[in-house]
Structure 1
């Protein structure tokens, strides 16, 4: 379907497109910065490796306007009882503070780790239903002050 105005356009779907993702990130960052005045968007990661260089666990996220967002946090199954999740989370929170953040957001499916985050001071702010298996996406917040 072509709109009645403007140039012809092609709509495509498929797997994640790295170039598209980079462009959308740049465009939305510019839009968000113009709307809020916050210019300090950055990415964040914490990585733990064992003596062999294999990944034990890690975290990825972002910081922007005094807010830290955790995207992914994972610990290898054989290392989950060793406290690495807490150490990784605390390292990310400390890095967020260093960057001037005073709050953190994260979401976790009900079958993942919302209780883990709650044990570390995060409070539930809402849920999104519709996750496969009858689960929900739990949204959590923590003040770093």
Structure 2
């Protein structure tokens, strides 16, 4: 047995690890089968904003949300989150969660109805990683 660091793009380590996790989860009655949520806003053939996440076990997880600096303040991030929530509801999700950093977007998620449920201090040094959740029922 040897340990290897996987750095090459496209290497199948992520697929293999997910398959192992899925098999283990299946035996508990909760198969690991995330459904992707990938949204983009395009202008002049260029992606200016996007959201990447997935739904799993009746939850939406927003992994990454970004809006190009020249297009911020126009409601694009809000539109992406609301569309992801719409998709999640259509997939019978009852809640959503996301994490951000104290220097990024905690106020943004609060304005959208997300409430904090945990933090990691000094991540990075002097800042916090903040975890938010939102009920999607209704």
Would the TM-score normalized by the shorter structure come out above 0.5? yes
Q: 1:28 to 1:91 in 2, by over 3 A?
A: same
Matched position secondary structure for 1:87: helix
Gaps of 5+ in 1: 1-8
Choose the corresponding residue for 2:59, options 44, 67, 86.
67
Q: Counterparts of 1:68 and 1:117 in 2: how far apart (Å)?
A: 14
Matched position secondary structure for 2:4: coil
Structure 1 residue 99 and structure 2 residue 108: aligned?
no
Which residue is 2:122 aligned to?
130
**Contact kept in structure 2, 1:29 and 1:41, CA below 8 Å:** no
Structure 1 residue 44 and structure 2 residue 47: aligned?
no
Structure 1 residue 118 and structure 2 residue 118: aligned?
no
**Contact kept in structure 2, 1:43 and 1:63, CA below 8 Å:** yes
Quick check: which has more Rg, 1 or 2?
A: 1
How many equivalent pairs are there? 136
1:69-84 to 2 correspondences below 5 Å: 69-84=61-76
Choose the corresponding residue for 1:35, options 8, 22, 28.
28
Which structure has more helix as a fraction of its residues? 1
Deviation of the 1:113 alpha carbon? 0.4
Gaps of 5+ in 2: none
Deviation of the 1:65 alpha carbon? 1.1
Matched position secondary structure for 1:132: coil
**Larger mean Cα displacement after TM superposition, 23-32 or 10-19:** 10-19
Deviation of the 1:40 alpha carbon? 4.9
Which residue is 1:21 aligned to?
14
